[in-house]
C-alpha cells in the first residue's frame, strides 16, 4: 500500500483525488481512511460499511449499558477540534460523536485568542495540537489545508489522523457521509438508493456540500442529478466533468418547481455570501425562485424527501418543517452517528463494535 511518507508534498498535491486515496488509508484497514480529506476516498462498499456501523452505534447507544459500553472504547484518546470558520452543528456533531466513543476533546475556534494571533503559522499550530491529541478534526476557510496538514503530520514523529470538517469552498466529506446515510435510511424500505433523481438547489457554485455529495452519489446506480440555481450561482464545471466521466445523467436548470415534481430528494442550500468578492454581491442576484415553500411541498412525491445541510435562511419555509418528508432535522442527528462510525473506524474499531454482541 502507498504511504504518505513516501511521496513529496508537491507530487502528492498534484495527483488526481482518486489517486490520493491509497495514501490516506489506515494500514490494515481494508481501504478505510486514516485521514478523511475528500469525498473521493469513499466507494460504495466503504459507504455501506460505515452506514452499517452507524446503525449499530445508534442501536447500542439506546440503552444506558450500551451507551456506557460505547464510551469504553476510546477514553484513552483525545481529539482536537480546530474550527476557525463559523460552525454550530458540524462542531457539536463531531463533539458529540467523540463523546459517544468516550474520547475527550479540546478546541480552538478563534485564532484571535490562539498563538496564530502572535504570528504562529497554521502548520505550527496544528503540529502543536498533534503533541497533545490523537486526532485533529478541522474546519478552515483555506482550500487544501487539511490535505497539507495530513501530509505534514504523516511525515512527522507523531502522525495523527486529520478529519476534514469543511475546507474552503471545495470539500465537506463528513457532511456528504451524513447526507448519503440519510438518503440510504430514507429509501431503505422503498426500493433503496438507486434509480432516483436528486435535485440540488441554491448556491451550487460555492456550496462545498454539493460538490462532496454530488461525487458520492456517483457510487449508486442510476442516480440522476439536477442542478437548479440562478445562472450566477450554477454548479461549477469540475462537478459536471466528473458526472460526464462517470456517465451519470444530469440536468442544469432554473426551474425548481419542475425539478421538485420529478425528484426523489431535493437538497436545498443557502446563499454562501461570505464568499462574495464585493460586499453585497450576492444580494443583487434574484434568488426568489430558488426557495422551497408550501407550493413546492405540494408538488413533492409522497415518498420524496427535502434535505438541507443547514443552517438555513429563508430557502425552506418553516411551514415545511413538520411534514414527514422534511428530513433536515434527522439529517443532523444522522451526522452524529455516521461521524462516530467514521471516528471508530479511524481508530480501527469497526469489527469490534459490529461483532460486540449487543
- DSSP per-residue codes, 76-141: T-EEEEEE-S--SHHHHHHHHHHHHTT-EEEEE--GGGSGGGGT--HHHHHHHHHHH-SEEEEEES
* Catalytic annotation, pick one of 20, 89, 94, 208: 89
With binding defined as CB under 6 A, does residue 182 bind ligand NCD? no
Q: Based on CB atoms, which residue is closest to ligand NCD, 153 or 327?
A: 327
* Number of CB atoms found within 10 A of residue 60's CB: 17
CB under 8 Å to 358, separation ≥6 — which residues?
Answer: 56, 59, 60, 66, 69
With binding defined as CB under 6 A, does residue 206 bind ligand NCD? no
Closest by CA position to 213, among listed 327, 47, 337: 47
Tell me, yes or no, if 118 is annotated catalytic.
Answer: yes
With binding defined as CB under 6 A, does residue 211 bind ligand NCD? no
Contact window for ligand NCD (CB under 6 A) among 16-24, 120-128, 236-244, 264-272: 264-272
d(CA 207, CA 213): 10
Tell me, yes or no, if 56 is annotated catalytic.
Answer: no
Report the nearest approach of ligand NCD to the CB of residue 214 (Å).
Answer: 14
Tell me, yes or no, if 206 is annotated catalytic.
Answer: no
Closest by CA position to 174, among listed 31, 3, 35: 35
With binding defined as CB under 6 A, does residue 166 bind ligand NCD? yes
Give me the half-sphere count of Cα atoms (radius 13 Å) on the Cβ side of residue 187.
21
Contact window for ligand NCD (CB under 6 A) among 231-239, 251-259, 266-274, 277-285: 266-274
What's the N-to-C CA distance of the chain in angstroms? 34
For ligand NCD, which residue of 25, 34, 309, 344 counts as binding (CB under 6 A)? 309
Q: Which three cell numbers stand for residue 181?
A: 446515510
Q: Based on CB atoms, which residue is closest to ligand NCD, 85 or 155?
A: 85
Tell me, yes or no, if 49 is annotated catalytic.
Answer: no
Contact window for ligand NCD (CB under 6 A) among 59-67, 267-275, 279-287, 338-346: 267-275
For ligand NCD, which residue of 90, 105, 154, 340 counts as binding (CB under 6 A)? 90
With binding defined as CB under 6 A, does residue 49 bind ligand NCD? no
Helix, strand, coil % in the chain, rounded to nearest 5:
45, 15, 40
For ligand NCD, which residue of 167, 209, 212, 219 counts as binding (CB under 6 A)? 209
* Catalytic annotation, pick one of 10, 64, 118, 322: 118
With binding defined as CB under 6 A, does residue 173 bind ligand NCD? no
Q: Based on CB atoms, which residue is closest to ligand NCD, 304 or 335?
A: 335
How many separate helices (H) and strands (E) can be counted in the chain?
Answer: 14, 9
Q: Based on CB atoms, which residue is closest to ligand NCD, 115 or 318?
A: 318
With binding defined as CB under 6 A, does residue 218 bind ligand NCD? no
Give me the half-sphere count of Cα atoms (radius 13 Å) on the Cβ side of residue 241.
3
Q: Based on CB atoms, which residue is closest to ligand NCD, 260 or 332?
A: 332
With binding defined as CB under 6 A, does residue 171 bind ligand NCD? no
With binding defined as CB under 6 A, does residue 89 bind ligand NCD? yes
CB 183 within 8 Å of CB 328: no
Report the nearest approach of ligand NCD to the CB of residue 166 (Å).
Answer: 5
Tell me, yes or no, if 89 is annotated catalytic.
Answer: yes
With binding defined as CB under 6 A, does residue 55 bind ligand NCD? no
* Catalytic annotation, pick one of 20, 77, 172, 208: 172
d(CA 70, CA 352): 11
Buried b (16+ CB within 10 A) or exposed e, 227-236: bbbbeebbbb
Q: Which are the catalytic amino acids? A: 89-90, 118, 139, 172
Contact footprint for ligand NCD (CB under 6 A)? 89-90, 166, 172, 175, 208-209, 269-270, 272, 309-310
Amino acid at each position: 500500500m502507498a504511504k504518505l511518507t513516501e511521496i513529496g508534498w508537491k507530487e502528492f498535491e498534484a495527483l488526481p483525488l482518486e489517486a490520493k486515496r491509497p495514501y490516506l488509508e489506515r494500514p490494515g484497514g481494508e481501504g478505510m481512511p486514516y485521514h478523511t480529506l475528500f469525498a473521493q476516498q469513499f466507494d460504495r462498499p466503504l459507504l455501506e460499511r460505515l452506514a452499517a456501523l452507524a446503525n449499530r452505534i445508534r442501536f447500542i447507544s439506546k440503552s444506558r449499558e450500551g451507551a456506557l459500553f460505547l464510551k469504553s472504547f476510546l477514553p484513552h484518546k483525545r481529539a482536537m477540534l480546530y474550527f476557525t470558520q463559523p460552525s454550530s452543528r458540524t462542531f457539536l456533531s463531531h463533539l458529540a460523536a467523540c463523546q459517544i466513543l468516550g474520547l475527550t476533546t479540546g478546541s480552538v475556534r478563534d485564532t484571535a485568542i490562539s498563538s496564530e494571533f502572535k504570528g504562529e503559522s497554521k502548520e505550527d499550530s496544528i503540529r502543536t495540537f498533534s503533541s497533545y491529541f490523537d486526532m485533529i478534526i478541522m474546519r478552515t476557510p483555506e482550500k487544501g489545508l487539511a490535505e497539507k496538514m495530513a501530509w505534514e503530520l504523516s511525515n512527522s514523529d507523531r502522525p495523527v489522523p486529520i478529519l476534514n470538517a469543511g475546507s474552503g469552498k471545495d470539500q465537506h466529506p463528513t457532511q456528504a457521509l451524513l447526507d448519503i446515510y440519510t438518503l440510504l435510511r430514507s429509501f431503505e424500505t422503498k426500493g433503496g438508493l438507486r434509480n432516483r433523481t436528486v435535485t440540488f438547489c441554491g448556491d451550487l457554485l460555492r456550496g462545498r456540500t454539493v460538490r462532496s455529495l454530488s461525487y458520492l452519489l456517483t457510487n449508486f446506480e442510476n442516480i440522476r442529478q439536477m442542478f437548479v440555481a440562478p445562472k450566477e450561482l450554477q454548479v461549477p464545471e469540475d462537478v459536471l466533468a466528473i458526472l460526464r466521466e462517470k456517465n451519470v445523467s444530469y440536468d442544469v436548470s432554473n426551474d425548481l418547481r419542475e425539478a421538485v415534481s420529478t425528484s426523489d430528494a431535493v437538497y436545498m442550500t443557502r446563499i454562501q455570501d461570505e464568499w462574495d468578492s464585493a460586499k453585497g454581491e450576492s444580494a443583487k442576484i434574484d434568488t426568489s425562485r430558488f426557495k422551497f415553500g408550501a407550493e413546492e411541498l405540494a408538488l413533492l412525491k409522497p415518498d420524496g424527501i427535502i434535505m438541507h445541510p443547514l443552517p438555513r435562511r429563508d430557502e425552506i419555509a418553516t411551514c415545511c418543517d413538520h411534514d414527514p418528508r422534511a428530513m433536515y432535522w434527522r439529517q443532523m442527528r444522522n451526522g452524529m452517528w455516521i461521524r462516530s462510525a467514521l471516528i471508530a473506524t479511524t481508530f480501527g474499531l469497526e469489527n469490534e463494535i459490529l461483532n460486540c454482541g449487543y
